[in-house]
Amino acid sequence: MQEQLVDISRLQFAATAMYHFLFVPLTIGMTWILVIMESVYVMTGKTIYKDMTKFWGKLFGINFALGVTTGITMEFQFGTNWAYYSHYVGDIFGAPLAIEGLMAFFLESTFIGLFFFGWNKLPKAQHLLVTLLMAIGTNLSALWILIANGWMQNPVGSDFSYVTMRMEMTNFWDVIFNPVAQAKFVHTVSAGYVVGAMFVLSISAYYLLNNKHIEFAKRSFRIAAAFGLAAACSVIVLGDESGYTVGEAQETKLAAMEAIWHTEKAPAGLNLIASIDEKAQKNNWEVQIPYALGIIGTRSLSKEVKGITEIKERNRERIIAGIEAVKTLEQLRRNPSDKAMVARFETIKKDLGYGLLLRKYVTNMDEVTPAIIQKAVDSTIPAVTPMFWGFRAMVGLGFTFLLLFAASFYYTLRGKCAHEKWLLRAVLWSLPLPWVACEIGWFVAEYGRQPWTIYGVLPTHLSVSAISVENVYGSLAGFIGFYTLLLVVELYLMFKFARLGPTQYSEQH
């Protein structure tokens, strides 16, 4: 029963989070494109740039509405479905969420209203300031959410308290300047910029292919190509940085992502492609670039990249040590004033999370058998095949975007983009690809953290609310119903207004 509850709760969270992230990256990217377009308008006074800001702003608004709608779900869900998680880490995890509201979401949401309705009420420069503040708010919002997520990946600046039975913050700055969080933030917002740029580029290509709104489309195309090229470069460079911090903080994720079954002599080779046999825990064959992974993953020639087999053996030791930690904690809960016990617990509590992994199989730590320990050890590595190929698909897409934006930028600089039909078609049909890359990226990041919600601290299995599985089936069905309907409506409006194009603006003002 518990297992089913955990699975369905995970499914609901994954589905609603991935759905939410259909809208978020476009919002993040579009805000800056709007800032650029409006800046050109304010600097040159050419109304076509104002029309551009308004038209792309309208599509941005249609997208933003669903971003807000689906974002509230995420906030609710920690409490409704992950109550033990909320209790266990709310002391640290809740803070960036609350600060996100105070510092970022208020800013974004207040100024988005003025962005849409303030055109005739504000002087030009003030309206531009509004657009800029909206963009800053949006990006700061991403910062705080990724600080929260980064802490799940690499729980720094905190400590377990046996009195309150939870993790507590010990250093706020460590949480904020968590290297994993910072690398994730810049990589994720860059991915958003790629999405925004591709969106504008593709729809502009559509107009150029159909010989409509030529002047409007050419200018939009140029801005999107330049912005997209910069974004694609940064998403790749910062993705590499993100990969490096993962290697430092989460060896299991790196090993699974790269299908490294055994620790190799440094510097390790990079498996470009491989035939993975999960059962036998080996690759049948692999195409390797020598030294590459060692250099990318450790930034050195002498550090090893740990293999799955070796990581498992180390995890086995930690799980066995964790049994003691869990038992000691149980005794301490019954007798909190035992000073000797407290001292003992403090020395072994670093493995508490690993001991808790066993709770998936037994409640009483005295019933742990070697077979159960083996199960727990095996569970510490996420499935290698989806990690390996998912990661490769994301990286491959990243380089595809770089090529597309580079080609677009080259032809738009030469003033020829409208004639290169092959390029316009390629760009148009690539429209969905940045979303695919984002979703795969999140899959690698979150599935790759399993079996933990907080890496090394709290197993996913224990994080759920103590509610009946029927409740979760019911709410999941509700989400599927609502979200399907909303997606149909959103896509209908998006296509309608994208096809219609910017015609109405010149008439209107």
Partner 1 sequence: MLDYVTLKIIWWVLVGVLLIGFAIMDGHDMGVGTLLPFVGKGDTERRVVINTVAPHWDGNQVWFITAGGAVFAAWPLIYATAFSGFYWAMMAVLWSLFFRPVGFDYRSKIENKIWRQTWDWGLFVGGFIPPVIFGVAFGNLLQGVPFYFDENLLVHYTGSFWALLNPFALLAGLVSSAMITFHGAIYLMLRTEGDIHRRAKIAANIFGILALGLFAIAGIWVAKGIGGYAIVGNYDISALPNPLDKQVTHQTGAWMQNYSKMPITMAIPALAFISGIIAIFLAKIEKAGAAFVFSSLMMAGIIGTAGISMFPFLMPSSSNPNSSLMVWDSASSHLTLGIMFWAVVIFMPIIIIYTSWAYKVMSGKVTKNYIEDNKHSVY
Footprint of partner 1 on residues 175-194 (CB under 8 A)? none
Task: Indicate the DSSP class of residue 154.
Answer: S
Query: Among residue numbers 22 through 81, which ones bind partner 1 (CB under 8 A)?
Result: 54, 61-62, 64-66, 68-69, 71-73, 75-76, 78-81
| SS3 assignment, position 267 | coil
Q: Please name every residue paired with 331 in a beta bridge, in sequence order, or none if there are none.
A: none
Among the listed ranges 102-110, 255-263, 369-377, 419-427, the one in contact with partner 1 (CB under 8 A) is 102-110
Distance CA 262, CA 259 (A): 9
Q: Is the dihedral of CA 359, 364, 365, 366 positive or negative?
A: negative
Q: Which listed range, 42-50, 271-279, 420-428, 478-486, lies at the site for partner 1 (CB under 8 A)?
A: 478-486
Query: Taking a C-beta distance cutoff of 8 angstroms, is the pair 387, 447 a contact?
Result: yes
Taking the least distance from each CB to partner 1, the nearer of 56 and 64 is 64
- Binds partner 1 by CB under 8 A, chosen from 14, 15, 18, 83: 83
| Binding test (CB under 8 A) with partner 1, winner from 278, 478, 488, 491 | 478
In residues, how long is the chain? 509
Under the binding rule (CB under 8 A), the answer on residue 95 touching partner 1 is: yes
> Of 279, 475, 270, whose CA–CA distance to 392 is shortest?
270
Please tell me whether residue 495 binds partner 1 under the rule CB under 8 A: no
Going by the DSSP 8-state scheme, the letter that residue 357 receives in this structure is: G
- The mark string for 439-468 relative to partner 1 (x by CB under 8 A, - otherwise) is --------------------------xxx-
* Three-class DSSP category at 501: coil
Query: Can you tell me which of 11, 436, 489, 491 binds partner 1, judged by CB under 8 A?
Result: 489
User: Which one, 147 or 197, has the nearer CB to partner 1?
Assistant: 147
DSSP 363: S
Choice between 54 and 316, CB closer to partner 1:
54
Per CB under 8 A, the list member of 2, 117, 210, 421 interacting with partner 1 is: 117
Residue 12, token pair as written in the block:
């609901």
274: enclosing H helix or E strand: strand 270-277
Packing angle of the helix pair 106-117, 124-153 (nearest 10 deg): 150
User: Scanning residues 122 to 161, which ones bind partner 1 (CB under 8 A)?
Assistant: 122, 133, 161
R_g of the chain, CA atoms, integer Å: 25
Site for partner 1 in 369-428 (CB under 8 A): none
Please identify, using beta-carbon distances, which residue of 270 and 332 lies nearer to partner 1.
332
E-strand ranges in 149-264 read 158-161, 166-169
Report in angstroms how near the CB of residue 463 gets to partner 1 at its nearest: 10
Based on the shown chain and the rule CB under 8 A, indicate whether residue 486 belongs to the binding site for partner 1.
yes
Q: How far apart are CA 316 and CA 115, in angstroms?
A: 56
When binding is defined by CB under 8 A, the residue of 112, 142, 274, 311 that contacts partner 1 is 112
Name the residue nearer to partner 1 (CB basis): 83 or 372. Answer: 83
